[in-house]
Amino acid sequence: MRFALQRDGGRDERPVYRQIADQIQREIESARLQAGARLPTIRELARSLGVNRDTVSQAYEALAEAGLLESTVGRGTFVTTRRSNGNGHGFQPVFPALVERLLAFERARPRFGLAKGAIPLHAVVPDPALYPADAFRKALSRVLARGGPELLLYGETQGFAPLRATLSARLRRTGLEVGPEGIVLCHGASQGISLALRLFAGQGDAIALEEPTYNNALAAAHAQGLRTVAVPMTSDGPDLAALERALSRPDVRLFYTIPTFHNPMGTTTSLAHRRALLEVAHRCGKPIVEDGYEADLRIDGRATPPLAGLDGSGIVVHLCSFSKSLFPGARVGAVIARGPCVDALLALKQASDLSDSLPLQAALADFIECGEYDRHLARLRRAMRERRDALLESLAKEMPDGTRWSAPDGGYQVWVELPGAIDTRDLLSDAIRAGVLFAPGSQFQHDGRASSALRLSFAMAGPEDLRTGVARIGRLVRERLAGDEPRAVGVHV
């Protein structure tokens, strides 16, 4: 099977993975590849074509989703013997370029589904064992009993007024002066990111983001047809000189930042850095989207005021969420803005989904007002402090010389930079076989390039699992640095 690939700059605008998939599909449709034929392994084909293994993996996954290929663990990838309809082919949709780019981005993400029983150091999702399910169920029952059928109607686009009033009071205590009228409730910080980007940037525009940065912010940019400009992260936060160069460009419309418990780095910027960043934004006349999704998860020290609390001009749009501090199923977040930005956000949200879930928003308001949320936070912080300390102690004990990592004072994540030229995407394959998961640094890069860094999360795993998981990763890194083949441990995945 021969391939003709057009790389960057060629006439073919399709992603390389799509070119590979389409050429294999033509071979199948022409019967040059028969049902049951075995395809080269991902590693073999990637080597012969001179592409990354992720590219071939995306091509095979696209063909599997189309029903043309099937994989069997331990045997390989084969042309399927099943057909979806009488003529041998199912409907093959043709997606616009924007959707194809988003699909390419999503398919480049690591797949953890086969790693059953592995230690989960990859997910920034609170441990279900710590959810206050009974207390929240009681709050939901109370509000349904009080609200009756009216609570089951569509709500206001801006969200449940009592919850906005409650959030306003809490935000004021952090230094962010905002009334209920400046809060737009949404489906977690994820929808908040999408709304905030659409507020200032349209298809074809560019936005500045930190590098590394939250991968779902990159996904939101791809979904809206936005170009991204990387602002390097330093130990103090985003490089302010690079930021000013980016925001001085006329095509760059905003800057997205996570100053508190950065994802993936876990770092928090100082008050002085925040003030300097605001000065840059004002000089350039460009808005800031501040993601405060983990702001309630401080473990140590005193909180630094959010950017939005330090700015009185309205140049900062602030995002917050309960998905990490309570549980993801609440699907409650908020966008905090001022003046005409609020009206524009409401118009965007009305066009998107009309309104959110009134029962969940009402239950959350009750849950906060009766004190259960703060009691839950106290328990959660104790558990997270123990887990963070176990993770940091294990890194100091198990990782080879030259490894560097962050020491967060809150949130769920630690950023680890490995010595040597280790691609943590390849290391992840070894780690999955060893029964431990992590997030490779490439998924937080604008271009998905290879990275020797990784993100470890202490959200889902207890102290003993954290120690075991770090020990396994440390062993794999040492073997890589020594040039040895990694040895599997006795974990079935």
List the chain domain ranges: 16-107, 119-124+382-482, 133-370
- pLDDT values of the chain reduced to their tens digit, one per residue, 493 residues: 788 887 655 555 577 888 899 899 988 888 888 888 889 988 889 888 988 887 888 888 888 888 888 876 556 788 886 554 444 455 677 788 888 888 878 877 877 755 568 999 999 999 999 999 999 999 999 999 999 899 999 999 999 999 999 999 999 999 999 999 999 999 988 999 999 999 999 999 999 999 999 999 999 999 999 999 999 999 899 999 999 999 999 999 999 999 999 999 999 999 999 999 999 999 999 999 999 999 999 999 999 999 999 998 999 999 999 999 999 998 999 999 999 999 999 999 999 888 899 999 999 999 999 999 999 999 999 999 999 999 999 999 999 999 999 999 999 999 999 998 899 988 998 898 899 999 999 999 999 888 999 999 999 999 999 999 999 999 999 999 988 544 433 332 2
pLDDT at 74: 57
pLDDT at 197: 97
Write out the CATH class of domain 133-370. Answer: alpha beta
DSSP string for 172-213 = HHTT----GGGEEEESHHHHHHHHHHHHH--TT-EEEEEES-
pLDDT at 488: 38
Look up the CATH number of domain 16-107: 1.10.10.10
b vs e for 72-85, b when ≥16 Cβ sit within 10 Å of the residue's Cβ?
eeeeebbbbeeeee
CB 452 within 8 A of CB 420: yes
Tokens 């994540």, residue? 413
Write out the CATH class of domain 119-124+382-482. Answer: alpha beta
> What letter represents residue 368's amino acid?
I
Give Dmax over CA atoms of the chain in angstroms.
68
> What letter represents residue 209's amino acid?
L
Peptide bond into 212 cis (omega under 30): yes
Tokens 């602030």, residue? 318
- Whole-angstrom CA distances from 407 to 6, 253, 299, 404, 430 are 44, 32, 11, 10, 26
pTM recorded for the entire structure: 0.82
pLDDT at 487: 43
CB 51 within 8 A of CB 97: no
Residues 6+ apart with CB under 8 A from 149: none
